[in-house]
Amino acid sequence: MSTDLHVVLGASGGTGSAVVGELVARGHRVRAVSRAGDADGPGWTQAGVERLAADVSTPEGAKAAAAGAAVVYHAAQPAYTRWPQEFPAMNAAVTEGATSAGAKLVFADNLYMYGPRALAGGAKLTEDTPQLATDHKGRTRIEMARRLLAAHAEGRVRVALGRSSDYYGPRGTATRAGDTVMPAVVAGKTARWPGPLDVPHTFSYLPDMARALVTLGERDEADGQVWHLPAAEPLTARRFLQLAFDAAGHPAKIARVPALAIRAAALFVPFIREAADVGYQQELPFVVDDAKFQRAFGPFATTPHPEAVAATVAWFRDRQAG
Ligand SMILES: NC(=O)c1ccc[n+]([C@@H]2O[C@H](COP(=O)([O-])OP(=O)(O)OC[C@H]3O[C@@H](n4cnc5c(N)ncnc54)[C@H](OP(=O)(O)O)[C@@H]3O)[C@@H](O)[C@H]2O)c1
């Protein structure tokens, strides 16, 4: 690589801010991009992180964002209710931006493309699991991944896809393990989980995700492939919340939002409707296999959940206090 500039799109979001933090820790030169251009984090200014305001859903914005980059980490996303309408165009623009810079593109992907049939019989999700989602967000993710890998195969741009499950962690607000429950946990009130409490689920920890995504950015062997990013062992929502209450120093008060209440709210609230569409991810065991990543780049030690949850609770407590 002729440059050491690493560009993070969506740098004010959960994933993007963790990736900036990881890049700073590794001593890379970083540009943090969001529409507002105000992404910030601990030590970023001292580390010389450049902030850029750019709309990466346009080719002009994406090109400006990616200019001079060695690696572009794509962790920007449109509103959850607008993926089919806006995400493919954003990805096309970002691909164009990375191509024009001659940069490698690492996409922070999720697991919506596999769909409920892939989980039959408690099967773990691997990179070879057939992509059978039929809901519109899942189909959007299938098509976006196909186009990104096609761009790589055509030799237009080097691409690596890093997939992870629902995340939690410092700055991980817009997730069910974030603002949905953490304020209640910190205050010692009842945490109401929007789904079953006793089904095993892989939860990804943002700093682990960021370490793995940066590994994909740094390693040529990652190119042209899909990778499931390492996460600690699956656990139930009840166990996750128990750990959170333990860390907060409060007795656990855990409840499930009744399925009927979710169905009723979904009639009126678009975001809840979209989340309910992929409710199978909570209702069925949802377990990710990271063996391929471990074989290629491991051993990669993930942060134990008790430690990771404690760091997450501390961040939410500080935010609430300050
Ligand atoms: N949430 C999860 O649990 C999870 C798990 C696995 C994978 N993922 C995937 O990881 C990726 C990132 O998700 P996230 O939850 O970390 O994102 P997020 O917290 O919602 O943050 C999105 C970021 O994108 C920026 N952004 C939005 N539109 C933009 C535009 N047109 N131009 C430039 N920046 C724009 C936002 O900043 P501004 O609003 O200031 O522009 C923000 O920095 C997504 O593909 C997501 O599906 C998420």
pLDDT reported for residue 175:
94
Exposed/middle/buried for residue 46 (C-beta within 10 Å: 0-12, 13-18, 19+): exposed
Structural domain contains residue 270: no
Q: How confident is the model at residue 322 (pLDDT cuts 50, 70, 90)?
A: confident
- Quick: pLDDT tens for 166-203: 999 999 999 999 999 999 999 999 999 999 999 999 99
Domain housing 59: 5-172+203-233+285-303
Structural domain contains residue 162: yes
pLDDT surpassing 50 at residue 2 = no
Q: How many domains does the chain have?
A: 1
Average pLDDT over residues 265-294: 96
What's the CA gap between 310 and 312, in Å, rounded?
5
Ligand 1, atom 11: closest residue by C-alpha: 75
Instruction: Please name which of 146, 294, 144 lies closest in space to residue 228, comparing C-alpha atoms.
Output: 294
Average pLDDT over residues 293-312: 98
pLDDT surpassing 90 at residue 3 = no
The pLDDT mean for the chain works out to 97
Ligand 1, atom 12: closest residue by C-alpha: 75
Structural domain contains residue 29: yes
pLDDT reported for residue 165:
98
Structural domain contains residue 198: no
pLDDT reported for residue 82:
98
Ligand 1 mean position to 6 CA, how many Å?
17
pLDDT surpassing 60 at residue 83 = yes
pLDDT surpassing 70 at residue 14 = yes
pLDDT surpassing 50 at residue 1 = no
Ligand 1, atom 36: closest residue by C-alpha: 10
Ligand 1 mean position to 14 CA, how many Å?
7
Structural domain contains residue 117: yes
Structural domain contains residue 58: yes
What's the CA gap between 151 and 106, in Å, rounded?
13
**Ligand 1 pocket by C-beta < 6 Å: which residues?**
9-16, 34-36, 55-57, 75-78, 108, 110, 164, 166-167, 174-175
Average pLDDT over residues 130-144: 97
Structural domain contains residue 120: yes
For residue 155, what is the domain's CATH number? Answer: 3.40.50.720
Indicate yes or no: pTM above 0.85: yes
Ligand 1 mean position to 69 CA, how many Å?
20
Ligand 1 mean position to 152 CA, how many Å?
23
Structural domain contains residue 77: yes
What's the CA gap between 258 and 262, in Å, rounded?
7
Average pLDDT over residues 119-144: 97
What's the CA gap between 142 and 176, in Å, rounded?
23
